[in-house]
Chains A and B, each alone.
Chain A
Amino acid sequence: MTVHNLYIFDRNGSCLFYNEWNRKKQAGISKEEEFKLMYGMLFSIRSFVSKMSPLDMKDGFLSFQTSKYRLHYYETPSGLRFVMNTDLSVPNGRDTLQSIYSNLYVEYIVKNPVCVLGHSLDSELFSSRLDSFIRGLPFYSPRAA
């Protein structure tokens, strides 16, 4: 039961925040390339999902899973995108991401007069609160390496 990592993208595709808690294998490309790959993949998959949907869609793309991990996605109305990779035991990370947005992002970034929106988030308070929030999640437990 664990959270592997978390990305926050703005609506232009730049990565505002990234942190990892439990990542066993690196991607083999630079972080910048990885962010572009992640954003591009999400863009394509959301467009694919909306075209292929046989019924009218309510929320759109929510998550995908492979045999090893599950990626959860949440987008705010302002175009901010939260992406979280967990292991397969977490069925629905969307609420978690939504509360990260409303309880952490809005509180510590949006309401912070020093933080410029659109630049990468470098508020230490935000990072530390997010870290303790993630570690406090019921489905987080650090595995012995």
Chain B
Amino acid sequence: MVIFSVYVVNKAGGLIYQYDNYVPRAEAEKTFSYPLDFVLKHHDEKVVVSFGQRDGIRGIKFIVLADPRQSGIDALLRKIYEIYSDFALKNPFYSLEMPIRCELFDQNLKGALEIAEKAGNFGAGS
């Protein structure tokens, strides 16, 4: 269990996707009330321009909580963005900024996490 959680936050700060991979000890509030421009170890989507409203500029933030010994997190974040654009954005039934409820997104995300855990785990305990 070395990748603990994945969260996706939209431009307004609302949580649109959450995946947890650990035994939760307490229910913490899942609202982010301040703009997260950077998080621990900069988990940021590659936003090209952060000001101005143009289509193509999303302001979506991807957050991954993982063991510090886990390597390859940058690649994992990029992969999650790819999966997001393949299964959420190209899905005609999904509207932007809304919670992500696409099965294929879930499946592919879990697959990518498994691959990352197996590939990136050097000497990590459980």
Contact = CB atoms under 8 A, between A and B. Distances in A.
B42 A66 contact: yes
B34 A44 contact: yes
Main DSSP-derived SS at the B contact region = loop
B28 A52 contact: yes
A61 B20 CA distance: 21
A51 B42 contact: no
Contacts of B65: 52, 54
Interface residues of A, number: 12
Given A54-B20, A67-B42, 8 more contacts: A51-B29, A52-B65, A54-B4, A54-B24, A64-B41, A64-B42, A65-B41, A66-B42
Q: Which 8 A-B residue pairings sit nearest by Cβ, starting from the closest? A: A54-B4, A54-B22, A51-B28, A66-B42, A64-B40, A66-B38, A65-B42, A65-B41
Interface of A: 44-45, 49, 51-52, 54-55, 61, 64-67
27 contacts: A44-B34, A45-B40, A49-B40, A51-B28, A51-B29, A52-B5, A52-B28, A52-B65, A54-B4, A54-B5, A54-B20, A54-B22, A54-B24, A54-B25, A54-B65, A55-B22, A61-B40, A64-B38, A64-B39, A64-B40, A64-B41, A64-B42, A65-B41, A65-B42, A66-B38, A66-B42, A67-B42
